[in-house]
Chains A and B, each alone.
Chain A
Amino acid sequence: MKPAPFDYVLAENAEQALAVLAQEGDAARVLAGGQSLVPMLNMRLARPGMVVDISRLHDLAAIHAGNHAISVGAMVRQADLLAHPHLADSHPLLAQALPWIGHPQTRAQGTVCGSLAHADPSAELPLLLTALDGSVTLRSRRGRRELSAVDFFLGMMTTDCAADEMIEQVRFPAKRPGAGYAFREFSRRDGDFAIVACAAAVTADGIELTLGGVGDRPHRRVWERLSGSALDDALNEFAWQSDARDDQHASARLRRDLVRSLGRQTIEEAQACRE
């Protein structure tokens, strides 16, 4: 179980990395924390001709916290974002959800942007980006563009990131005043990919629920204020429309059940946080 051969580039700055990507196109893969890519290389599921290591791009290792959002560079490790001061105040959803990603050992190396680039439908970070209406900044030699989560995630492990682009940073909008947030996840073991993960935001205007682990990318629904059986009905509809499928860890039925039950718990918890 050893990787196929590849050329390796250790980029010293972003321009170098982008130049290589522009030249190599689809044959090159960006290596940041390696926690998603390297297992696929070891299993030879992925066999890029070139690996572009961006781990020494120190400019991209910064977190910028503004009043309205937190910007996370491509080399920021998940553990660093989790340890960012005041994260629980500015981004309660991130603070609640980040500990669910893998294990401390993988969070110490895995990057926030790397997980987004990998776009696993059961991973927590794509769900969080979708739930918070975040955006991704893609950069290539052609320039920069900023994409919303909805535009970025195209499907299972597939994003709108072109072959010559890399994620430069990601932006998570801060907590909205008066909003309550909650995150819940059900997995076979702690640290496993989610069977169903739910992120809820409850505001004066309504309820937002985002699902991970169901379907080929995170799904978000926004409702006017709902409660009681109307909420149950809404969740049931969401469950049926979320394209749940069977795999060896859980059936589509269990996933729909979890959307209904875990979804409701998450919304109620977010509601309680708001109050």
Chain B
Amino acid sequence: MANEKRLDRIGWYFITPACVLLLFFIVYPIFFSLYLSFTSTKGIVSQFVGVKNYLRMFGDPMFFLALENTFRLLLIQVPIMLLLSITFAAILNNKSIRFRGFFRTALFLPSVTSLIAYSILFKMLFSYDGLVNNTLIKLSIIDAPLQWMSEPRLATFVLVIAMIWRWTGYNMIFYLSAMQNISEDLYEAASIDGSSKVHSFFTITIPLLKPIILFTTVMSTIGTLQLFDEPMNLSQGGTTASMIGPDNCFLTLSVYIYNICFKYTPNFGYAATVSYAILIIIALLTFIQFRLSGDREEAMRKTLERKGGVR
């Protein structure tokens, strides 16, 4: 029908501005980057080298160090943070708790800070003469100041704590919103059947929250794998120092790419190669996460589209 054709065309009109912007500012860079990854481009001196960069990457100790650091952060920070987020959400979902609005706002507030600002803050708090050391000494928890920013394990700890501080409230809001959509009747029915609050949480809340848990896990994974601003700003001396963080503990994959471009002899080709490695890892992990939750991308959206919560 002519009308259908007309509507179809209009559908495209709505999408066109976004497509144009996407084309220039995302699609073109992606493909050019792919091309770059097969070249050795030192500054403006470029040479096609085929898969040599990829082979180089597999023999690059620093790449593996960055990979290890990034994964360590992923496996430690993300689960703890999401667990905390869901716990807070569960608590604040309970109508009998008072001052819920205040707590919700307080926990969300860290998310409005810029990544630079809060990195600087935590660096100051945990410096050798900083507030944390002084407080711990005053409370007699430790006798001598701890070298938070000079010891690799402690420095990683500071980064993890900072990220948890910043992102827990943000994810909590997603869980809270989803929880508030679950009908009260479900809980009432369950408690009539004799189920305890905790039991209901695990048998009703969590399963219904699966799509949103998947969403936050995927977004957090992508965010942590691309982590740049915080390690960059927590490390002393940035790119002019010999190491990014004590024993290079803040050398994440994105920081490594930045170093390849701006600290070492700039090999933009190799930098592109490493960034494609990140992309492949992200894609793999995202795919696995979707599979584990038994959904594929479209199915996830369909789940979110389904009304109500009874299944």
Instruction: Say whether A and B bind each other.
Output: no
